[in-house]
């Protein structure tokens, strides 16, 4: 076998107990029990559309191996060029090169998978799904393609099919932490907390410094009202990733201990005060912030407001808590109060885009589009260049009759996330104003094509009806 062909071999070692545990998933009847019978059944079940699949029994494992029937040197040279372009983030050029390679060798799993990766990076999830399914049809045991297919489906909120591909990827490759991490998240969403905890613990066993798994555990124990376990896991997140966004989430999510039966709170345990946070008060004040965040997450905004205000009365220099107060005021419809709180945060720390975004949202909800647009521009300038900021800036510009600027913002929003229903909807409205009904209809039909439920679909149908009248 040539070295080129050897480099394209995909090999998986599957534990026989795992196969028997997942008979339904792998469609293996109860009557099939011996390792040889299981191997033969898997080979008949996982027939590739191209290439050769072989298998053998190795103790308590079944080893499956796929390799291509041939390798084309010209196509391989194109693939090498595409890999360099991907590293340089020249995605559109890489796509063109890989498409040429596929014309020469149209069932090469490597080229198909590379295209899927590019489209995933570009958030073009429908195309990602298309090329991943092609990859798996060529090489059913391609565990990376199965994993990415699960991640893509999870992005599209299709939990059950996502779970299936994570389980398959996990069966094919027990050493990867990502299937465990994502399965933990899905089981948590489905309130299957025992299974979720098991998945996150397996993830930690493989990667003891995986802070996302500790955050997942902390959130589950929070829901189970196990304060001590939740705090221990939040603290682990802070230790492992001290300057990250998830560490900030963990700091703000630390819980107070429940009251004793006599109604007197015991001495609070707050690991946050041991993480080097400067310029703030003692444990009791920090506990107020944690309690405020907890109430916010429970939609108890009145309680949340009381906690944040009590804390800020003693520590008015804490810009992040001013931001939290603003976020809570937004939820209660106190937009003027939210503007004041966000601006206090900005006065204390003027280079955080998140705070300007808060100001923009406050003005946007009041239909003060000129002020909102200015705030969103500053948010983007200071790094908050997410799809929502671009979308809302585009909407503000549209209402201000700055149509060219509006169109540019919608394009930027959809470049960040092509599956952005709000940007597509208002872009369609803009195209209707310009008389470009075809583009408007294309945008609206794309929204209706999303498999997940969103309230805006009803408005889309009405707008489509008005175009066709």
* Span 340-358, pLDDT tens digits: 999 999 999 888 899 999 9
Name the most confidently modeled range: 30-34, 125-129, 222-226: 125-129
Q: Are 138 and 49 in contact (CB under 8 A)?
A: yes
- Same domain flag for 417 and 338: no
Pairing of strands 10-15, 52-58: unpaired
Confidence (pLDDT) at 3: 52
Tokens of 22: 């997942």
Residue 36, domain member (yes or no): no
Rounded Cα distance between 430 and 209, Å, is 48
pLDDT at 11 over 80: yes
Closest CA to 251 of 225, 274, 284, 228: 274
Query: Residues 26-34: what's their mean pLDDT?
Result: 85
Percent of the chain predicted with pLDDT > 70: 91
Rounded Cα distance between 391 and 379, Å, is 13
Residue 351, domain member (yes or no): yes
Residue 341, domain member (yes or no): yes
Residue 333, domain member (yes or no): yes
pTM above 0.75, yes or no: no
- Same domain flag for 353 and 298: yes
**Domain with 396 in it: what CATH number?**
1.25.40.10
Q: By residue range, what is the domain housing residue 361?
A: 283-375
Domain count across the chain: 2
Residue 201, domain member (yes or no): no
Beta bridge partners of 54: 65
Query: Residues 246-270: what's their mean pLDDT?
Result: 51
- Same domain flag for 342 and 401: no
Q: Is 17 exposed, middle or buried (0-12, 13-18, 19+ CB in 10 A)?
A: exposed
Q: Are 265 and 284 in contact (CB under 8 A)?
A: no
Residue 322, domain member (yes or no): yes
- Same domain flag for 366 and 406: no
Q: Is 1 exposed, middle or buried (0-12, 13-18, 19+ CB in 10 A)?
A: exposed
- Same domain flag for 371 and 428: no
- Same domain flag for 414 and 465: yes
- Same domain flag for 365 and 397: no
3-state secondary structure of 454: coil
Q: Please write the tens of the pLDDT for every residue from 154-193.
A: 998 899 999 999 999 999 998 899 999 999 999 999 999 9
Residue 88, domain member (yes or no): no
Q: Give the domain-ending residue among 316, 340, 375.
A: 375
For every residue of 134-201, DSSP letters joined together read: HHHHH-TT-HHHHHHHHHHHHHTT-HHHHHHHHHHHHHH-TT-HHHHHHHHHHHHHTT-HHHHHHHHH
Residue 61, domain member (yes or no): no
Q: Give the domain-ending residue among 352, 375, 398.
A: 375
pLDDT at 283 over 80: no
- Same domain flag for 396 and 428: yes
- Same domain flag for 371 and 291: yes
Query: Residues 231-237: what's their mean pLDDT?
Result: 88
Q: Give the domain-ending residue among 375, 405, 435.
A: 375
- Same domain flag for 371 and 289: yes
Q: Please write the tens of the pLDDT for every residue from 196-206.
A: 999 999 999 99
pLDDT at 276 over 80: no
Rounded Cα distance between 53 and 469, Å, is 56
Query: Residues 383-397: what's their mean pLDDT?
Result: 92
CA 379 to chain CA centroid, nearest Å: 22
């Amino acid at each position: 076998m040539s070295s080129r062909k050897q480099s394209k071999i995909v090999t998986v070692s599957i534990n026989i107990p795992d196969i028997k545990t997942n008979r339904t998933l792998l469609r293996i009847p109860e009557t099939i029990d011996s390792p040889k019978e299981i191997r033969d059944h898997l080979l008949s079940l996982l027939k590739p559309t191209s290439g050769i699949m072989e298998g053998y029994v190795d103790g308590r494992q079944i080893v499956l191996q796929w390799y291509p029937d041939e390798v084309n040197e010209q196509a391989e040279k194109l693939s090498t060029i595409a890999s360099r372009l991907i590293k340089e983030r020249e995605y559109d050029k890489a796509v063109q090169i890989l498409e040429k390679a596929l014309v020469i060798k149209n069932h090469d799993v490597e080229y198909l998978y590379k295209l899927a990766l590019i489209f995933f990076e570009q958030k073009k999830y429908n195309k990602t799904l298309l090329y991943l399914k092609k990859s798996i049809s060529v090489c059913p045991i391609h565990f990376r393609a199965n994993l990415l297919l699960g991640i893509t489906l999870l992005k599209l909120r299709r939990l059950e099919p996502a779970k299936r591909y994570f389980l398959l990827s996990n069966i094919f490759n027990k050493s990867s932490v990502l299937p465990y991490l994502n399965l933990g998240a899905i089981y948590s969403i489905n309130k299957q907390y025992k299974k979720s905890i098991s998945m996150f613990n397996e993830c930690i066993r493989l990667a003891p410094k995986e802070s996302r798994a500790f955050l997942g555990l902390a959130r589950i124990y929070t829901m189970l009202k196990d304060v001590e376990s939740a705090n221990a896991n939040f603290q682990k997140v802070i230790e492992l990733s001290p300057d990250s966004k998830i560490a900030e989430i963990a700091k703000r999510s630390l819980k107070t201990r429940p009251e004793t039966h006599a109604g007197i709170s015991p001495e609070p345990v707050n690991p946050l005060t041991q993480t080097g946070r400067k310029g703030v008060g003692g444990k009791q004040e920090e506990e107020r912030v944690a309690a405020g965040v907890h109430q916010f997450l429970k939609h108890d905004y009145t309680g949340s407001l009381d906690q944040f205000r009590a804390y800020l009365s003693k520590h008015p220099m804490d810009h992040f808590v001013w931001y939290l107060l603003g976020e809570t005021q937004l939820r209660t419809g106190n937009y003027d109060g939210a503007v004041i709180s966000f601006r206090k945060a900005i006065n204390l720390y003027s280079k955080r885009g998140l705070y300007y975004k808060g100001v923009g949202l406050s003005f946007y909800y009041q239909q003060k589009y000129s002020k909102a647009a200015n705030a969103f521009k500053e948010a983007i300038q200071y790094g908050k260049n997410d799809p929502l900021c671009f979308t809302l800036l585009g909407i503000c510009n549209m209402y201000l009759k700055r149509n060219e600027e509006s169109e540019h913002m919608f394009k930027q929003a959809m470049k960040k996330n092509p599956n952005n229903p709000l940007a597509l909807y208002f872009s369609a409205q803009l195209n209707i104003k310009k008389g470009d009904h075809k583009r408007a209809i294309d945008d609206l039909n794309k929204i209706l094509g999303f498999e997940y439920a969103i309230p805006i679909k009803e408005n889309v149908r009405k707008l489509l009806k008005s175009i066709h009248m």
